[in-house]
Amino acid sequence: MEGTFRREVVQGRGLLIYLPRSYGEEGRRYPVVYLQDEGSVMKQTANYLEHLFIAGELRELIFVGMVSPDRNHEYTPWPSPAVMPGSPDFGGGGSGYLKELVEVIKPYIDGQYATLPGSRDTGLIGCSLGGLISMFAYYLYPDTFGRIGLLSASFWYEGLLEFMRTHPAPSSGRKLYMYVGELEGFYKTNVQKHMVPKTLEAHSLLLEQGLGADELRFDRDRQGTHDGVFFSRQLPAALKWLFGAGIATGKKYKG
């Protein structure tokens, strides 16, 4: 039996929900990972993730992919001019988007599905601008999202590093996973050419703010470019570190 996908709309927000193969077994409840961009990074690796579940290499998870009609608006924390001619400006609607996620979407999911609702069992993962808004949530809602995954997050975004410098990292108990490909931004001529150095600067800043090895992990790929191939390749590693392993199929997980 494989896991199942279902689509729902909650107060106008489209959701793609994945339920693991054991879902429905009496007494079982699951961590939840909320994913930007409709969970596209998960859909590309679903078969492999199910293998990890069956092999006991990863805890079974519920995934909730959120549809965004305007990611340039919803995935940015404040307005900023476009970085390419002819492209729309960044709208800066991230605070409203995250408020909807925390006050509407998460309560709905916790009410309708067999979840583990605490922060230590609630993740938020995004790629590129989706990683940017996930990083913003790390600061705004640390009591809601205790597991954050940043796959090639847009640390080049104007004002983000300054925001991080003036907002200390949340207290211990949270886990933050970062990844960047070393070829990202290599051919860019705009601010995105700083993708790698800005990510390195953000990582150093978090270390300076006191995050230890049990709270922060940073992976890099020497051949990695800024595209879904590498985002999806890195997702299993992120999930393993953020949520840990399960045990053999048919048995309850430890803890």
pLDDT tens column, 94-121: 999 999 999 999 999 999 999 999 999 9
Cβ neighbours of 96 (radius 10 Å): 12
- pLDDT-derived band at 247 (thresholds 50, 70, 90) equals low
Over residues 21-39, the mean pLDDT reads 96
Q: By percentage, how much of the chain surpasses pLDDT 70? A: 96
Of 192, 156, 151, nearest to 35 by C-alpha is 151
pLDDT at res. 255: 34
Please report where in the chains the tokens 């803890």 appear, as a residue.
255
- Radius of gyration over alpha carbons of the chain, in Å? 18
The dihedral through the CA atoms of 27, 31, 34, 39 has a sign that is negative
pTM score of the predicted model: 0.94
Token digits of residue 145: 């999202």
Q: How far apart are CA 106 and CA 88, in angstroms?
A: 30
Token digits of residue 72: 């340039």
Token digits of residue 113: 């599905």
User: What domains sit in the chain, N to C, each tagged with a CATH number?
Assistant: 4-82+89-243 (3.40.50.1820)
- pLDDT-derived band at 191 (thresholds 50, 70, 90) equals very high
- Residue 12 gets the label, from left (phi > 0), alpha (psi -120 to 50) or beta, of left
Q: How far apart are CA 189 and CA 210, in angstroms?
A: 34
Q: How far apart are CA 151 and CA 154, in angstroms?
A: 9
**Pair type for strands 62-66 and 32-35:** parallel
Burial class of residue 254 in the structure, from the number of CB atoms within 10 Å of its CB (0-12 exposed, 13-18 middle, 19+ buried): exposed
Q: How far apart are CA 236 and CA 42, in angstroms?
A: 9
Q: How far apart are CA 61 and CA 70, in angstroms?
A: 27
